[in-house]
A and B are shown apart, each in its own frame.
Chain A
Amino acid sequence: MRCGIAGVGLLGPGLPGWDESRAVLAGEVPWEPGPVVVLPPAALPATERRRTSMAVRLALAASAEAAAASGLAPDTLETVFASSNGDGVVVGAILDALSTPGGAISPTQFHNSVHNAAAGYWGIAAGSTRASVSLGGHDDSFPMGLVQAVAAVVSRQVPVLFCAYDAPLTPPLDSQRFTDAAFAVALVLVPGDAGVTLSVEMAEKAEASSVGVLAPLMAGNPAARALPLLQALALGQAARIGLPLVDGGAVVLGVEPC
């Protein structure tokens, strides 16, 4: 499968946006991890904005950056959101409430607990009625989400906004699913070979691509498995990227700069 990359969004420790992070990703400037600052999504009405959690804000920030960079109107993009934990903090709070005698669940928390919460808020923020799908995938969230997104582009010839995001969990769930720092990546994928071309194939196996000093970041968040791709894009170099899957097999990405 082949498609074009029309826009990129990024948010992570020491990576405060795609344009601001290119030099770090290209290895020209040292990586200095710091707290991830995520602003509430400005495009949402105030009532909705107040209800958004860290995970949703993270996904929407990267998505908005990628959409803006693509030059395409946000309400023309289908969306694919992939996340291992989804809104795991909200789910954790509900689990806590359920284990408290007489503990009541907040209705807002309940509707925010769905895995497609980020997609729902994106639709409201973008005023979009385009189809949207939300995927899980544990450590495979990024590669499997990307496969599904590119399949949508090539099978239906539509532009797709793909976003992979994950935020740290709270105790005690974090003991079962360690997620170090918040990380989100978004790509606007378009039909054809315009601009940077991305190829995506399934393989029997592939060696995992390394990311040098960013290795701890990649190990600490499933969405950060996008880093080898982001490094290749920042360098503007052709690359072949292996993303082995948890139960065998691999996704292999190819990047061809314009």
Chain B
Amino acid sequence: MSSMLPALAIPAFTAVSAMGTGLAATRDALHARRGGLAPCDLPGMPDGIWVGRVPGLEEVALPEALSRYDCRNHRLAELGLRQDGFAEAVAEAAARFGAHRVAVVLGTSTSGIAQTEEAYARRGADGALPADFDFTHTHDLYALPRYVRARLGLRGLATAISTACTSGARSFLEAQSLIAAGLADAVVVGGVDTLCRMTLHGFNSLELLSRGACRPCAVDRDGISIGEAAGFALVMRQEDAPPGTVVLLGTGASADGHHMSSPHPEGLGAIAAMRAALVAAGGLPVDYVNLHGTGTRANDAMEGNAVRAIFGTGVPCSSTKGWTGHTLGASGALEAAIAALCVEDALVPGCLAVETPDPGFGVDVAVENRAVPVRRVLSNSFGFGGSNCALVIGHA
């Protein structure tokens, strides 16, 4: 599918994660191989785990007029919008196309649920939630695109995507549809997810959390570290952006139709999504595969099988979740930004802290940074419910 969708220029993008606030810090961390994971110090979380926490969120203030949206997830969104001239680039697009022609399509798995967790802890004797709790503007999935749309002064349509861990990646595909259908001239896409008790205890119940910093692709990997992140990109038709702008060349999506939380063991759904993205990108070769690579035994093995089926050992691949943790609904957007940096910097970032890659994958896992030309990157995202999405980012 999706081969009829247009390639889109990405004239502005940004990312905030545990590895860095903004692109310069993210880039520095990638080159210096300095990860952002640390032992979890948030209260009420499972014992003995590591997380990718974004420092300073507690001090971020939302604009006064939008204070009813205040929660950890929107503080992270706000921090992201302030980086790399992103809000200014969006304002420029709104001035050019009209605010009603700039849409907002954002992914999140849990939105501001941490606010509800906190409200549950403050329930009265009758079990009622506290009067100051505002579900609609915090926990509700729509709150994220509504906040960003209002914050950026946009009047185009707003869409909240929640396809678990493919949410951020999928926003790029939906933006392609909106622009192709004539509903928008530019779209703010991306994803935001924050650390919350439901996610950490949930993955703990599935016995999928690593006891240290996650080490995707390692032969002795022992699970996920959860992180939080905001990733944003402004996308528009290629003819509307300066020549040389990095491009979303193709997207592909599929479903496993197999199981709610276990991927198809041979990765058939993953293969279908990757192939669709590669076809949509005109069949051009890619120079690096940024894996979904969460660090669990089963998911990494599945992805290894899927990547081997398409590329064999011909294309280097790695996961950057050793830097950031798995940022869930934000991961696809965060890793799209990382992919664009890899193209700009001619970098294949090797997996962090991996001594021996899993030989069962049969693929070229980079475990040290490689300075090589990177014209195009394939970025994978897979999630619960058998949701798969792949992006090709770079230059034709």
* Cβ-based interface call for A136 (8 A): yes
* Cβ-based interface call for B5 (8 A): yes
Are the C-beta atoms of B256 and A137 separated by less than 8 Å?
A: no
| Interface residues in B208-225 (C-beta closer than 8 Å to A) | none
Please indicate the chain B residues that have their CB under 8 angstroms from the CB of A144 in the complex. 157-159
Selected contact of B123 from candidates A150, A172, A204, CB within 8 Å: A172
Are the C-beta atoms of B260 and A112 separated by less than 8 Å?
A: yes
* Cβ-based interface call for A105 (8 A): yes
* Cβ-based interface call for A221 (8 A): no
Are the C-beta atoms of B157 and A129 separated by less than 8 Å?
A: no
CA distance A134 to B383 in the complex (A): 12
* Cβ-based interface call for A114 (8 A): yes
CA distance A253 to B197 in the complex (A): 41
Are the C-beta atoms of B198 and A120 separated by less than 8 Å?
A: no
CB within 8 Å: A-B pair count: 222
Are the C-beta atoms of A155 and B177 separated by less than 8 Å?
A: yes
Size band of the interface chain A makes with B: 35 or more
Of the candidates B113, B123, B202, B253, the one having the most CB atoms from chain A within 10 angstroms of its own CB is B202
Of the candidates A75, A148, A151, the one having the most CB atoms from chain B within 10 angstroms of its own CB is A151
- Stretch from B114-122, B238-246, B306-314, B339-347 that touches the partner: B114-122
Are the C-beta atoms of B162 and A124 separated by less than 8 Å?
A: no
| Interface residues in B160-210 (C-beta closer than 8 Å to A) | 160-164, 170, 173-174, 176-178, 180-183, 197-198, 201-206
* Cβ-based interface call for A209 (8 A): no
* Cβ-based interface call for A173 (8 A): yes
Are the C-beta atoms of A98 and B120 separated by less than 8 Å?
A: yes
CA distance A173 to B135 in the complex (A): 9
A-B contact pairs, 14 of them (CB 8 A): A84-B140, A99-B117, A105-B201, A105-B205, A110-B198, A111-B261, A114-B385, A115-B163, A119-B385, A123-B256, A124-B259, A136-B141, A138-B136, A155-B4
Which positions in A face B, CB cutoff 8 Å?
A: 1, 48, 51, 75, 78, 84, 86, 91, 94-96, 98-99, 104-107, 110-117, 119-121, 123-124, 126-138, 140-141, 144, 147-148, 150-152, 154-158, 171-173, 175-177, 202, 204, 245-249
